[in-house]
Amino acid sequence: TAFLHGDLKERVYMQQPPGFQDKSNPEHVCLLNKYLYGLKQAPRAWFEKLSSSLITLGFKPSSYDLSLFVAHHNGHTTMLLVYVDDM
């Protein structure tokens, strides 16, 4: 469900889902406000949102692996590696 939380930046339209069609306007389409499962842009948008949030919290992306974020605070180092298994 993480992929549903990315910010949709472009206009994406879809057909009316079965069972939700407006019978008086069957040719109408839906303009999406958020991502849906299966949209190819969703994983990237989610990762951008996650990265932005982590940077706001003081993490820096590693120059070795963009999925690795590192934060230093009070002499301690925190490393966070992001892995998604169903991209």
Closest CA to 54 of 75, 70, 72: 70
How far apart (Å, rounded) are the C-alpha atoms in residues 68 and 81?
Answer: 4
Does residue 26 sit within a domain? yes
Specify the pTM.
Answer: 0.74
- Report helix, strand or coil for 65: coil
pLDDT computed for residue 4 by the predictor: 87
Residue-wise pLDDT for 33-72, tens only, equals: 988 888 888 888 899 999 999 999 999 999 999 999 999 9
Specify the higher pLDDT residue, 20 or 75: 75
Task: Tell me which residue range forms the domain holding 46.
Answer: 2-81
The total number of structural domains that make up the chain: 1
The secondary structure of 19-75 as a DSSP string is T---TT-TT-EEE-SS--TT-TTHHHHHHHHHHHHHHHTT-EE-SS-TTEEEEEETT
Identity at 28, one-letter amino acid code: H
Q: Could you tell me the pLDDT band of residue 86, with boundaries at 50, 70 and 90?
A: low
87 is a domain residue: no
**Is 56 domain-assigned?**
yes
Q: In this structure, is residue 38 part of a structural domain?
A: yes
Residue 86 inside a domain? The answer is: no
